[in-house]
């Protein structure tokens, strides 16, 4: 293997950290093959990633800067097409990114996220009561019964998603992150997503409330953007076709007061609650798992030598909830140094997970979980630069509350069984497939 001879990224994420180490060893960027035979440059060194993530010569807009997508050489038949066909702030570039991020940032402020603490505490308490009642001293799967349930309730309530949509959305989100999915399965999932989202938006238009969905609908429906009178889409129209049309219209609509198209509204909602759910589930599982298998680290927290927030940052570093970021594109040739040039139009794969274990930043023991690590906060798990995750405050808060309350309630909890636990089959989503734990006795009120 060398930089010019690509190796295939494991679609099922069998050993993402070993793969990331190989990418780092190859230099500032190396050729890889994504599922479906798409060639890209993978970047695995923290310093190189930080530089690229703020470089104006790097775009996330496939409709403007990926020749293979523009020409149709890569299209909706690609199993991972949903990651570039959506039209929201995560795939936008330049002034378009600012236009699409603005209404979401206005609706989802750090203050609003912090204001959710009482509800998070309440939900965590209810979940812990359920665990204590249903499996006193027994073994439970904490991913299913705890880590999954907390962000489901918080994020779906935050977005005003009716309960009848929760089941279908979970199924769709799981397929969304399944990077081993076939093209046919991916297209069916995208169609199902359009139907569910059309139902959600219609429901919230009829019954607006104090939620993120209603806020974004209001931003879209009350805007002065001339497109808003004519651009409503039906769920049956192809994603790529509507996105291509909106991409052209959007370029001229950027600026203060520019509104969201109907597709931008829907795709923004998809981004916000999908990322808000998946990342939190993975993060909570990682933090719980690392403390359960490293009791000395838990002891440091209990002794007051480290905080629960330190646990969250080290969990983010060692196992980012999203391992790779799809996709970015070179607006022009980019000289990475060491004889490597990413050509104009070439796709770029950012390895957020690799940054967290880069020995140049975190030392030779970067693979070790250490809540006292001085560099625990120097990760890229929520991105960097203009595309930094809006939900970072909420994810951190959910995890800190969940882990603190769990160990306060079940101080003698331990892992059920020995050996490595299975991980989700994805090279994008990075988390445990299950987390079997023996709860042990519940703490008394005096404790």
Q: Let me know the angle formed at the C-alpha of 74 by 69 and 75, rounded to the nearest 5 degrees.
A: 85
**CA 210/CA 112 separation, integer angstroms:** 12
The predicted pLDDT at position 180 comes to: 87
**In the annotation, is 113 catalytic?**
no
**CA 82/CA 240 separation, integer angstroms:** 9
- Selecting among 389, 399, 400, 402, the annotated active-site residue is 389
Whether 408 and 443 have beta carbons less than 8 Å apart is answered as yes
* Domain spans, the chain: 7-438
**In the annotation, is 126 catalytic?**
no
Which residue carries 């609509």 as its tokens? 253
**CA 447/CA 442 separation, integer angstroms:** 10
The predicted pLDDT at position 237 comes to: 44
> Which H or E run contains 330?
strand 324-330
Please, what is the angle between helix 117-134 and helix 392-409, to 10°? 40
Residues, the chain: 447
Which residue carries 């938006």 as its tokens? 201
The predicted pLDDT at position 236 comes to: 36
Distances (CA, A) of 245 to 91, 146, 307: 15, 42, 49
Which residue carries 């104090």 as its tokens? 210
Q: Let me know the angle formed at the C-alpha of 156 by 154 and 161, rounded to the nearest 5 degrees.
A: 150
- Selecting among 59, 85, 214, 280, the annotated active-site residue is 280
Question: Strand 38-43 to strand 347-351: parallel, antiparallel, or no bridges (unpaired)?
Answer: parallel
Task: State residue 423 phi and psi, 5-degree precision.
Answer: -115, 160
**In the annotation, is 47 catalytic?**
no
**Cα-based torsion angle of the residue sequence 280, 281, 286, 291 in order, rounded to the nearest 10 degrees:** 90
Q: Please, what CATH class does the domain formed by 7-438 belong to?
A: mainly alpha
How remote is the C-alpha of 84 from its chain's centroid? 15
**In the annotation, is 275 catalytic?**
yes
Q: Is 133 exposed, middle or buried (0-12, 13-18, 19+ CB in 10 A)?
A: exposed
Q: Let me know the angle formed at the C-alpha of 315 by 312 and 318, rounded to the nearest 5 degrees.
A: 150
> Which of these, 211, 48, 41, lies nearest to 116 by C-alpha position?
211
**In the annotation, is 389 catalytic?**
yes
pTM for the whole thing?
Answer: 0.88
Please, what is the angle between helix 262-293 and helix 392-409, to 10°? 30
The CA R_g of the chain, rounded to the nearest whole Å, is: 22
What lies within 8 Å, CB to CB, of 161 at 6+ separation is 169, 200, 213, 273
Whether 5 and 32 have beta carbons less than 8 Å apart is answered as no
- Rounded to a whole number, what is the distance in angstroms from the first to the last CA of the chain? 57
**Cα-based torsion angle of the residue sequence 12, 18, 23, 27 in order, rounded to the nearest 10 degrees:** 180
What lies within 8 Å, CB to CB, of 438 at 6+ separation is 137, 138, 139, 413, 414, 415, 416
**CA 206/CA 214 separation, integer angstroms:** 10
The predicted pLDDT at position 43 comes to: 98
- Selecting among 20, 275, 287, 400, the annotated active-site residue is 275
Indicate the DSSP class of residue 442: P
Which residue carries 């049956």 as its tokens? 236
The predicted pLDDT at position 111 comes to: 82
> Which of these, 290, 298, 249, 286, lies nearest to 395 by C-alpha position?
286
Whether 340 and 405 have beta carbons less than 8 Å apart is answered as no
Mean pLDDT by 10 residues, the chain (447 residues): 72 94 95 95 97 96 97 94 89 90 80 90 97 84 96 90 86 85 88 88 92 87 52 41 42 44 86 83 97 98 98 98 94 97 98 97 98 97 89 93 97 90 93 95 74
């Amino acid at each position: 293997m060398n930089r010019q001879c690509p190796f295939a990224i494991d679609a099922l994420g069998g050993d993402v950290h070993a793969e990331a180490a190989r990418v780092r060893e190859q230099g500032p960027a190396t050729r890889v093959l994504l599922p479906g035979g798409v060639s890209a440059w993978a970047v695995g060194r923290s310093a190189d990633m930080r530089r690229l993530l703020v470089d104006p010569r790097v775009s996330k807009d496939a409709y403007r800067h990926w020749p293979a997508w523009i020409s149709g050489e890569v299209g909706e038949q690609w199993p991972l097409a949903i990651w570039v066909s959506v039209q929201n702030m995560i795939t936008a570039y330049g002034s378009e990114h600012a236009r699409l991020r603005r209404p979401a940032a206005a609706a989802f402020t750090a203050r609003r996220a912090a204001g959710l603490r009482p509800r998070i505490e309440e939900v965590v308490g209810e979940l812990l009561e359920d665990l204590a009642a249903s499996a006193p001293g027994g073994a439970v799967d904490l991913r299913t019964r705890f880590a999954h349930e907390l962000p489901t309730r918080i994020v779906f309530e935050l977005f005003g998603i009716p309960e009848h949509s929760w089941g279908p959305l979970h199924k769709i989100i799981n397929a969304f992150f399944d990077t081993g999915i076939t093209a046919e399965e991916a297209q069916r999932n995208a169609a199902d997503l359009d139907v569910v989202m059309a139902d959600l938006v219609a429901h919230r238009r009829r019954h607006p409330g104090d939620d993120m969905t209603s806020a974004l609908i209001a931003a879209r429906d009350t805007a002065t953007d001339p497109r808003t009178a004519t651009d409503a889409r039906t769920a049956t129209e192809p994603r790529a076709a509507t996105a291509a049309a909106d991409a052209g219209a959007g370029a001229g609509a950027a600026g203060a007061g520019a509104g969201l198209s109907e597709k931008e509204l829907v795709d923004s909602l998809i981004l916000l609650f999908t990322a808000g759910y998946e990342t939190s589930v993975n993060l909570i599982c990682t933090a719980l798992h690392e403390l359960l298998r490293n009791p000395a680290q838990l002891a440091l927290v209990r002794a007051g030598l480290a905080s629960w927030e330190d646990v969250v940052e080290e969990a983010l570093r060692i196992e980012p909830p999203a391992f790779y970021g799809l996709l970015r594109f070179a607006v022009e040739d980019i000289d990475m140094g060491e004889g490597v040039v990413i050509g104009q139009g070439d796709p770029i794969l950012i390895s957020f997970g690799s940054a967290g274990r880069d020995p140049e930043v975190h030392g030779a023991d970067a693979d070790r979980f250490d809540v006292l690590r001085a560099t625990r906060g120097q990760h890229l798990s929520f991105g960097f630069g203009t595309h930094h995750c809006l939900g970072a405050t909420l994810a951190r808060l959910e995890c800190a509350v969940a882990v603190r309350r769990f160990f306060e309630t079940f101080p003698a909890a331990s892992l059920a069984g020995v050996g490595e636990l299975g991980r989700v089959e994805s090279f994008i989503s990075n988390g445990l497939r299950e987390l079997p734990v023996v709860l042990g006795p519940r703490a008394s009120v005096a404790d």
